Structure 1
Amino acid sequence: MSSSSPQVLADYLILSLPQSARAKEWLEQSLNSGKQPLYKLDVPDFQSGTLDSLVQESEDLSKIDQQLGSAVSKVIEILASVSESKNNSRIVQSRSIFDFVQNFHWNTSKYRLDKPINHLVKVISSEAITLDNDVRSSYQNYQAAKSNFLAADRKRNGDLSIKSLHEIVKPEQFVLDSENLVTVLIAVPNNLVSEFKNKYETLTQFVIPRSAEVIAKDSEFTLFTVTLFKKFQQEFINSAREQKWHPRTDFSYSEETLNDLRKEFDVTKATESKQKNELVRLGKTAYSDIVACWFHIKVIRVYVEAVLRYGLPPQFDNYLIKFEGSNFKSVGKAKKELIEKFGYLGGDGYTSVNSNLHEYASLVDSEYEPFVLYDFEVV
Structure 2
Amino acid sequence: MSIKSLNCLQIHGIVSLFRRVTRTMAEFWLVSAPGDKTCQQTFDKLCMTTANQNMLSTNYKFAIPDLKVGTLDILVGLSDDLGKLDAYCESVTKKIAQYLGEVLEAQRDKLQENLVANGVDLVTYLTRFQWDLAKYPIKQSLKNIAEIIGKQVSQIETDLRTKSQAYNSLKGNLQNLERKATGSLLTRNLGDLVKKEDFVLDSEYLQTLLVVVPKSFHHEWAAKYEQLTDMVVPRSSRILYEDDENCLVSVTLFRRVVDEFRHKCRENKFNVRDFQYSETEMAAGKTEINKLEADKKKQYDISEWLKVNFGECFTAWIHVKALRVFVESVLRYGLPVNFQAMLLLPHKKSLRKLREVLNDLYSHLDNSAMSGDMAGQMDIPGLMMGNVDYYPYVFYKITTDLIEK
Per the normalisation by structure 1, the TM-score is 0.81
* CA distance, structure 2, for counterparts of residue 310 and residue 244 of structure 1: 83
* CA distance, structure 2, for counterparts of residue 101 and residue 328 of structure 1: 19
Q: What secondary structure is seen at the aligned counterpart in 2 of 1:337?
A: helix
Give 1:373 deviation, angstroms.
Answer: 0.5
What corresponds to 1:244 in structure 2? Answer: 269
Equivalences for residues 320-339 of structure 1 within 5 A: 320-323=343-346, 327-339=347-359
**Closer, same or farther in 2 for the Cα pair 1:288/1:175, shift >3 Å?**
same
The counterpart of 2:282, out of the listed 231, 255, 258, is: 258
Q: What secondary structure is seen at the aligned counterpart in 1 of 2:27?
A: strand
8 Å contact kept, 1:32–1:333: no
8 Å contact kept, 1:10–1:377: yes
What corresponds to 1:292 in structure 2? Answer: 315
* CA distance, structure 2, for counterparts of residue 293 and residue 183 of structure 1: 65
Tell which deviates more after alignment, 222-231 or 232-241: 232-241
8 Å contact kept, 2:369–2:391: no
Give 1:202 deviation, angstroms.
Answer: 5.6
Q: What secondary structure is seen at the aligned counterpart in 2 of 1:17?
A: strand
What corresponds to 1:44 in structure 2? Answer: 65
**Closer, same or farther in 2 for the Cα pair 1:73/1:7, shift >3 Å?**
farther
8 Å contact kept, 1:308–1:361: yes
The counterpart of 2:44, out of the listed 4, 15, 25, is: 25
Post-superposition CA distance 1:36-95 (Å, at most 9, x none): 332222223444444444344323322332332233333333434413674736532234
Residue 38 of structure 2 corresponds to residue 12 of structure 1 = no
Q: What secondary structure is seen at the aligned counterpart in 1 of 2:277?
A: coil
The counterpart of 2:390, out of the listed 334, 354, 368, is: 368
The counterpart of 1:152, out of the listed 167, 171, 177, is: 177
Paired positions, count? 363
What corresponds to 1:165 in structure 2? Answer: 190
Give 1:255 deviation, angstroms.
Answer: 0.9
**Closer, same or farther in 2 for the Cα pair 1:113/1:23, shift >3 Å?**
closer
Give 1:148 deviation, angstroms.
Answer: 3.4
**Closer, same or farther in 2 for the Cα pair 1:244/1:122, shift >3 Å?**
farther
Q: What secondary structure is seen at the aligned counterpart in 2 of 1:164?
A: coil
Residue 323 of structure 2 corresponds to residue 303 of structure 1 = no
Post-superposition CA distance 1:253-311 (Å, at most 9, x none): 01122234445555434432x12211221122112211110111111111222233223
Give 1:359 deviation, angstroms.
Answer: 4.9
8 Å contact kept, 1:37–1:321: yes
* CA distance, structure 2, for counterparts of residue 95 and residue 222 of structure 1: 55
What corresponds to 1:66 in structure 2? Answer: 87
Which residues of structure 1 form unaligned runs of 5+? 1-5, 352-357
Residue 131 of structure 2 corresponds to residue 131 of structure 1 = no
* CA distance, structure 1, for counterparts of residue 396 and residue 44 of structure 2: 20
What corresponds to 2:298 in structure 1? Answer: 275
Percentage of identical aligned residues: 30
**Closer, same or farther in 2 for the Cα pair 1:173/1:88, shift >3 Å?**
closer
8 Å contact kept, 1:186–1:223: yes
What corresponds to 1:111 in structure 2? Answer: 136
Which residues of structure 2 form unaligned runs of 5+? 1-21, 372-379
Post-superposition CA distance 1:99-137 (Å, at most 9, x none): 433333322322233433333222212212332443454
* CA distance, structure 1, for counterparts of residue 243 and residue 88 of structure 2: 53
8 Å contact kept, 2:35–2:339: yes
**Closer, same or farther in 2 for the Cα pair 1:8/1:171, shift >3 Å?**
closer
Q: AA paired with 1:255? A: E
* CA distance, structure 2, for counterparts of residue 214 and residue 332 of structure 1: 72
Tell which deviates more after alignment, 9-18 or 131-140: 131-140
* CA distance, structure 1, for counterparts of residue 71 and residue 255 of structure 2: 83
What corresponds to 1:189 in structure 2? Answer: 214
